Amino acid sequence: MTKSILLVCSGGFSTSMLVERMKKVAREKNLDVVIEATAESNVDIMVDNVDAILLGPQMAHAEQDLKKMYAIPICTIDMRDYGMMNGEKVLNTALELIRQSN
């Protein structure tokens, strides 16, 4: 079953680079995932059918509010993994978050 992961940052730009690295790892591992990036202002229109939301470190302040708004797993991406654009680590974090919620 396809898993859907949404990365959110202030403008959606920096997470786009990370998404591409995550997609590359997913292809290499033959994982059935859809990974997208968006700006904070678009979360409402993109949240349907999303299995997890990962926030850029600059969005950590919004994590608790988003958790109150949406009944899906949400966490902030580790600052080091984000800065290093570690697609494999962030993908693994998202998949573990989804696994724990089931």
Active site residues: 9
For the chain, the first-to-last Cα distance in angstroms comes to: 13
CA distance 87 to 78: 12
CA distance 10 to 62: 10
CA distance 66 to 77: 14
